[in-house]
Amino acid sequence: EVLMRQSPATLSVSPGEKVTLSCRASQSISSALAWYQQKPGQAPRLLMYGASARAAGISERFSGSGSGTEFTLTITSLQSDDLAIYYCQQYNSWPRTFGQGTKVEIK
Amino acid sequence: QVQLVESGETVVQPGGSLRLSCRASGFIFSRYGMHWVRQTPGKGLEWIALISFDISDKYYADSVKGRFTISRDNSMNTLYLEMSGLRPEDTAIYYCARALTPRSYMDVWGKGTTVTVSS
């Protein structure tokens, strides 16, 4: 099973600042990585796939990078609407596995 | 619009059985693979199972293998999860999610349904 580790667990950021979230896989997953955003009381929503491709309707303020075992999600100019937990997930092998999430709080 | 709607909230006793449903609309259901994913406060998001568009492939997490069965009825645009031998640790919000192929990401999620296993 591929273990996905996200850091940090929580980020407190002021509006307008840049946010960088990390995700590390326990073995290479190529670029088979997705990022999901989960706002309070809602289901997860796809943000990124293939490590760096934005899903339909996602703001250009969100970008992803990485391959192999190290991945990053960047949010430029953080907005209050970005308050959420962000999860990474690998779809390279079975079982599919998620990171434990990074909670982004607004200062 | 593309939509996935899971069946209503349920409370079931330990050892009991339950069938969840996920009704799809707004897209050609028979062309997509479908996942079940659950979420608990303690374990976060946990993938449970996938079924391919034509039912030829099914995959399960070890935690539910032998107890849960994923199935679908393409004529009814509906995905199912048969759950048996339920345990308190199966208490979670259960989401269905769409995937273009078994090897791809989950691009659309339902709102989820809560299952509580308790006596």
pLDDT digits (tens, 9 = 90+) for A20-51: 999 999 999 999 999 999 999 999 999 999 99
Calculate how close chain A gets to B93, using CA atoms only, in Å: 10
Return all residues near B9 (Cβ < 8 A) that are at least 6 apart. B113, B114, B115, B116
- Subunit contact B45:A89, Cβ cutoff 8 A: yes
What percentage of chain A carries pLDDT values higher than 70? 100
* Summary mean pLDDT of chain A: 97
Structure tokens, A50: 């293939």
Residues of A in contact with B109 (CB under 8 A): 43-46
> Residue B97: is its pLDDT beyond 90?
yes
Question: Which 3 state secondary structure label does DSSP give A2?
Answer: coil
DSSP, residue by residue, B29-94: GGGSEEEEEEEETTTEEEEEEEE-TTSS-EEE-TTTTTTEEEEEETTTTEEEEEE-S--GGG-EEE
Task: Locate the chain B residue with the closest alpha carbon to A54.
Answer: B107
Span of A6-15, A52-61, B2-11, B91-100 with lowest mean pLDDT: B2-11
Residues A67-80: pLDDT tens digits?
999 999 999 999 99
- Subunit contact B45:A87, Cβ cutoff 8 A: yes
Per-residue confidence band for B99, with pLDDT thresholds at 50, 70 and 90:
very high
What percentage of chain B carries pLDDT values higher than 70? 100
> Residue B8: is its pLDDT beyond 80?
no
Residues of A in contact with B44 (CB under 8 A): 87, 98-101
> Residue B32: is its pLDDT beyond 80?
yes
> In this complex, which of B60, B61, B104 lies closest to A91 when CB atoms are compared?
B104
Please tell me if residue A57 touches chain B, with a CB cutoff of 8 Å.
no
> In this complex, which of A50, A95, A101 lies closest to B47 when CB atoms are compared?
A95
B79-106: average pLDDT? 95
- Tell me how far apart the 2 most distant CA atoms of chain B are, in Å: 40
Query: Looking at residue A57, what is its pLDDT?
Result: 96
Residues B35-82: pLDDT tens digits?
999 999 777 899 999 999 999 999 999 999 999 999 999 999 999 999
Which helix (H) or strand (E) segment holds residue A12: the answer is strand A10-13
Interface contacts (A, B; CB < 8 Å)? 53
